[in-house]
Structure 1
C-alpha cells in the first residue's frame, strides 16, 4: 500500500459530523451569537422616547405663606434624533448578523483544517507502521544472510539502526496524532473526539476553482458585505450626530398653589437650550472621519481578499500538482525500489546499504507527500475562510 486512506466505519468521525458538532458546541461561536441579542436590545432601546419628569417645588418655608408647585415635563426630541438613533441600531443588527456569518465560515474552515491535520497524522501513523514493517523485514533478511556467512555482521547492525529509527518515527507520529486529535476536539467544543478514529475517503483536496469564478462573487462574501455594512453603520452614526445639533424642546405642565392667597393656578412652560457654544461640531467631525475610515477599510478588505484568493489558488494548484506527482510516479517508484533492493539483497546482488537507501527514500517521499497535502489543504482552507462552503461556491452560476 503506497498511501493510506481512512475507511469509513460506524464509529468513525466524519468531517461533516465534526463541522456540525462545532456549530452546535463551539464556545467562541456561541459567544458571537450573543451579539445578535445584544444588537436586538440596542435596537429596542433606540426606539424608546425620553421619560417624563415629575418635579415638586416649594417657595417660602413659612407654612402660612408657602407656595407649592407641581410640574410634569416632557422632552420632545427634534431634528429626527429618534429615527437616526433607530437607524444606527438597525445597522448594528445587520453588522451582528454578518459578523456571525463570517465567523461561521471561519469556524468551518478551522474545523476542516484541524480535521485534515488529524487525518494526515492518522495516515502518518499508518505509514510509519508500514516503514517499521519494512525495517523488520530488512533486519530479518540481514540476520539470515549473516547467519549464512554471506555478509558481514555490520549489515545486521545497520538493519537494527534502521528499525530503531522507524520506531522513533512511529512514536513521534503517534504523539502528533494525539495532539492533532486534541486540537480537533478543542475547535469542535468537546473532548469526546480525543482518540477517535477519523473517517475520510481521500486526503487529496478537490480541484481548485477558477479564480475568475471566485472573484466574480467576491462582493457577496461575508467579509465584503460586513465592510459595506460598517460603512452604512458609520454613515448612520454621522446622521445621528448631525441630528444632535438640533436642541430638544421641553414642555412643562403643572399646578401652583399659594396658601397665602388660597389660590391655585395652572403653569405652562417651554424650555430649549441655546446652541451658542456646543453645537456637537466635534462629534460630527469625528463621525464624518469614521465614515471615511470605513470606506478606506472596505477598499483595503477588497484588495486583501483578492490577493489572498489568488495566492491561495496558486498554492492550491501547485500543491495538488505536487501531490499528484507523488501518487502517480514518486511513491510507486520508491516502493518498487525498496522491493527490488530487498530482493536483490536476498540473492546477493545488492548490499544492505542499497536497501537502506531505498527505504529512506520511500520514507522521505511519504513525508513530503503529506507535506504537499498539508499545503493543499491550507490553501483550500484559506479559500473557505473567505467564501464559505467550497462546494456551494464551486457550483455557483
Structure 2
C-alpha cells in the first residue's frame, strides 16, 4: 500500500512538472531563449559597452595643468626651495587642446558606426539562436511524431503476426511467415529505441539553447507554426526585407560607413590641432603677471600621412566589397531556402493527398488478400513498409518546412 501510494505521488509529480514545462509551442521556447541564453546576453552587453564609447570619442581632451618653479635657488643665494612663495617665480599653465574643426564629429561618427556594428552583431546572434531553437523544435516534433507512427505500425505488425500465426496453425502457410512477422516487430522495436535516443538528444540540445539542464522537462510538442502562403513568400519582396533588416548585411554596411568616416578623418588630419593656454605668474605671495599661450602642431610628415590616406581608401574599398559579397551570399541562401521550402510543401501535398491513401488502401487489400490466400506474406510486408515510409515522409516534409522557414526568417531578420 505504501509503495503504491509513493508510486502514485511520483507519477503525479512527474505529470505536474510536464504540465508546467515549456515546449507545447515553439513560441514558448523562443521567449525563453531570448531571456535566458547567456551568449545573447553577453553580445547585448558588449553592444551596450560599445554605445558608451560614442560620447567620449567626440569629447574634448582633458585640460592640462603644468606648474613650473623658476629660479628655485634665488640666483644661488639660498638652498633649493620648493615653495612657490620662496622661489624666483612660479608659472601655472592651464591649457586645453582643441582639435581642428570637424575632427571631433568624425571621431564620434566612427565610434557610432562601431556601436551600430556591435548592436547588429548582437541582433545577428539573437536571430541565429532563434533559428536554432526553431529548427530544434521542428526536429523534436518530428521525432515525437515518428515515435507515434512507429507505435501505430507496431499495432499493425502485431495484427499481421496474429494473422500469420492463425494461418500457420491451420497449415495454410509456412512457419517462415510467422518468423518474418516477428522480425518486422523486432525491427520496429529497434527503431523505437533509436527514436527515443534521438528524442533525448533533441531535448538536451533545446535545453542547452535555453540555458537549462539537459534533463530539464519539456512538454510534448503539440503543434507547428503555420507556413505562410506562397504569395507571402515572393522572392523580390523577401530580398527587399533582407536588404533592409538582415543584421549581417546591416553590420557590413555600418562598417562601410565607419570606413568612410575614418577616411574623412584621415584627410582631416592634414590640418593642425590647436593648444590654447593661460599662464598666471606668481612672484612671492602674489600673482602679478599673466601670459597667454598658443600652440599648434605642424603636420609636415607628408609621406607618412599619404600612406595613411591610401590605407584608409583601401580599407573603404574592402568594406564595400565585403558588403557586396555578403549581400550576394545571403540572397543566394534565401533563394535556396525558398526552393527547398517549396519542394517540401509539394512533397507534403502529394504525400498527404495521394501517396498515403494509396499505401493504406494497398495494405488493407494485401491484408485481406493474405487472409484469403490470394497474396503472399512478402506482399503484405511490402505494403506495411510502404505505409511506414509514406507516414514518415509526411512528417519529415512538415518538419523540413519549419526548418526552411526558420532559415528564411533568419535571413530577412524577422518573423513572417
TM-score by length of 1: 0.86
Q: Quick check: 1:178–1:194 contact (8 Å CA) kept in 2?
A: no
Segments of 4+ in structure 1 off by > 6 A? none
Equivalent residues in 2 for 1:179-190, closer than 5 Å: 179-190=201-212
SS of residue matched to 1:266: strand
Say yes or no: does 1:237 pair with 2:249: no
Q: Quick check: 2:208–2:214 contact (8 Å CA) kept in 1?
A: no
Say yes or no: does 1:139 pair with 2:164: no
Q: Quick check: 1:18–1:188 contact (8 Å CA) kept in 2?
A: yes
Q: Quick check: 1:106–1:384 contact (8 Å CA) kept in 2?
A: no
TM-aligned CA distance change 1:206 to 1:130, over 3 Å: farther
| CA distance in structure 1 between the aligned counterparts of 2:184 and 2:69, rounded to whole angstroms | 101
Q: Which residue does the alignment assign to 2:366?
A: 341
SS of residue matched to 1:151: coil
TM-aligned CA distance change 1:63 to 1:147, over 3 Å: farther
- Of residues 295, 298, 301 in structure 1, which corresponds to 2:320? 295
Q: Which residue does the alignment assign to 1:44?
A: 55
Cα displacement (A) at 1:200: 3.5
- Of residues 176, 201, 214 in structure 1, which corresponds to 2:223? 201
Say yes or no: does 1:86 pair with 2:108: yes
| CA distance in structure 2 between the aligned counterparts of 1:55 and 1:364, rounded to whole angstroms | 86
Count of residues paired in the alignment: 381
Which string of whole-angstrom CA distances, capped at 9 and with x for unpartnered residues, describes residues 210-258 of structure 1? 2233234443223444333222222122222223332222223224456
Q: Quick check: 1:22–1:187 contact (8 Å CA) kept in 2?
A: yes
| CA distance in structure 2 between the aligned counterparts of 1:385 and 1:54, rounded to whole angstroms | 54
Q: Quick check: 1:76–1:251 contact (8 Å CA) kept in 2?
A: yes
SS of residue matched to 1:252: strand
TM-aligned CA distance change 1:195 to 1:10, over 3 Å: closer
| CA distance in structure 1 between the aligned counterparts of 2:374 and 2:108, rounded to whole angstroms | 87
Cα displacement (A) at 1:390: 4.2
Q: CA RMSD in A?
A: 2.7
Q: Which residue does the alignment assign to 1:355?
A: 380
Cα displacement (A) at 1:336: 2.4
Cα displacement (A) at 1:192: 8.0
Q: Which residue does the alignment assign to 2:252?
A: 227
Q: Which residue does the alignment assign to 1:4?
A: none
Equivalent residues in 2 for 1:141-156, closer than 5 Å: 141-156=163-178
Q: Which residue does the alignment assign to 2:33?
A: 22
TM-score by length of 2: 0.82
| CA distance in structure 2 between the aligned counterparts of 1:355 and 1:165, rounded to whole angstroms | 16
Equivalent residues in 2 for 1:303-382, closer than 5 Å: 303-382=328-407
Cα displacement (A) at 1:348: 2.4
Q: Quick check: 1:105–1:385 contact (8 Å CA) kept in 2?
A: yes
- Of residues 263, 285, 290 in structure 2, which corresponds to 1:266? 290
| CA distance in structure 1 between the aligned counterparts of 2:62 and 2:149, rounded to whole angstroms | 73
Provide structure 2 residue ranges, at least 5 long, that are not aligned to the other structure. Answer: 1-18, 77-86
| CA distance in structure 1 between the aligned counterparts of 2:20 and 2:413, rounded to whole angstroms | 28
Q: Quick check: 1:128–1:170 contact (8 Å CA) kept in 2?
A: yes
Cα displacement (A) at 1:196: 2.1
Provide structure 1 residue ranges, at least 5 long, that are not aligned to the other structure. Answer: 1-8, 392-397
| CA distance in structure 1 between the aligned counterparts of 2:162 and 2:308, rounded to whole angstroms | 83
Cα displacement (A) at 1:169: 0.4
Cα displacement (A) at 1:64: 5.3
Say yes or no: does 1:34 pair with 2:45: yes
Using CA pairs under 8 Å that are at least 6 residues apart, name the structure with larger relative contact order, 1 or 2: 1
Say yes or no: does 1:165 pair with 2:219: no
Cα displacement (A) at 1:121: 1.0
